[in-house]
Amino acid sequence: MKLFIKDNKEKLYLQISDIIFIFSHEIGIPDSVKEDFNNKLNVKNKKGLDDTPYTFKLFTEQSTISYINGLDYILDYNEHKQSTTQDIYEEAYLLQDKKQELAINFNRLSLKDREKKQDIVKMCDELDFKIISLRDLLWFKEGSLSMIIPGSKRAKKVEKKLMKKTNNNKI
């Protein structure tokens, strides 16, 4: 899931699970974006929290932000934060129907044509990933999955608590 914030500077937060999927899925990732991703994945969490697949990483490089915004299969939190449970289910069902239609058409192709149409497999993988992201969002909204959304009240509370803990540990 991505979260775009524009205040005095453009910022984009992206979950670790998205970064890993992009690395495993995309061909031709620009070198500057690869480097930015690697830097974010290799930096120890400064807040003292263990990173999980749901941890958001901050990106401020314009080339990285543009690249990520061009990936339609990455769920945009801003577009879904007001979604109801019903809205999320409906979107997931539409994506599943689209994936099933692609798979049926792919399976009708000859083996020779399937080799030429590997982009269909890629599209199905992207739809699966977006459906999983919708599931995670639903679990988050229902309270079954813990995520700290950057800029949220909870994020500010956790940061304040960690700052207090850090200050108490200083000599």
Residue 58: helix, strand or coil by DSSP?
strand
Question: What is residue 27's predicted lDDT score, i.e. its pLDDT?
Answer: 84
6 pLDDT band, cuts 50/70/90, is: confident
Question: What is residue 169's predicted lDDT score, i.e. its pLDDT?
Answer: 56
Question: What is residue 42's predicted lDDT score, i.e. its pLDDT?
Answer: 75
Question: What is residue 162's predicted lDDT score, i.e. its pLDDT?
Answer: 59
Question: What is residue 152's predicted lDDT score, i.e. its pLDDT?
Answer: 79
Sheet holding 10-15, edge to edge: 2-6, 10-15, 56-59
Task: Give the highest mean pLDDT range of 8-12, 137-141, 165-169.
Answer: 137-141
Question: What is residue 32's predicted lDDT score, i.e. its pLDDT?
Answer: 87
Question: What is residue 148's predicted lDDT score, i.e. its pLDDT?
Answer: 87
Phi, then psi, of 2 in degrees rounded to 5: -115, 155
Reading the block at residue 88, the tokens are 């999320």
Q: What digits encode the pLDDT tens for the residues 98-153? A: 999 999 999 999 999 999 999 999 999 999 999 999 999 999 999 999 898 888 77
Phi, then psi, of 30 in degrees rounded to 5: -55, 145
Give the pTM. Answer: 0.84
Burial 126-160 (b: 16+ CB within 10 A, else e): bbebbbebbebbbebeeeeeebbbbeeeeeeeeee
Rounded CA separation 103/123 (Å)? 10
Q: What digits encode the pLDDT tens for the residues 34-88? A: 888 888 877 665 555 568 899 899 899 999 999 999 999 999 999 999 999 999 9
Domain boundaries, the chain: 2-150
CA geometry: angle 122, 5, 68, nearest 5 deg:
20
Question: What is residue 43's predicted lDDT score, i.e. its pLDDT?
Answer: 67
Question: What is residue 49's predicted lDDT score, i.e. its pLDDT?
Answer: 56
Query: Which among 75, 70, 69, 90 has a CA at the least distance from the CA of 11?
Result: 69
Element (H, E) at 149: none
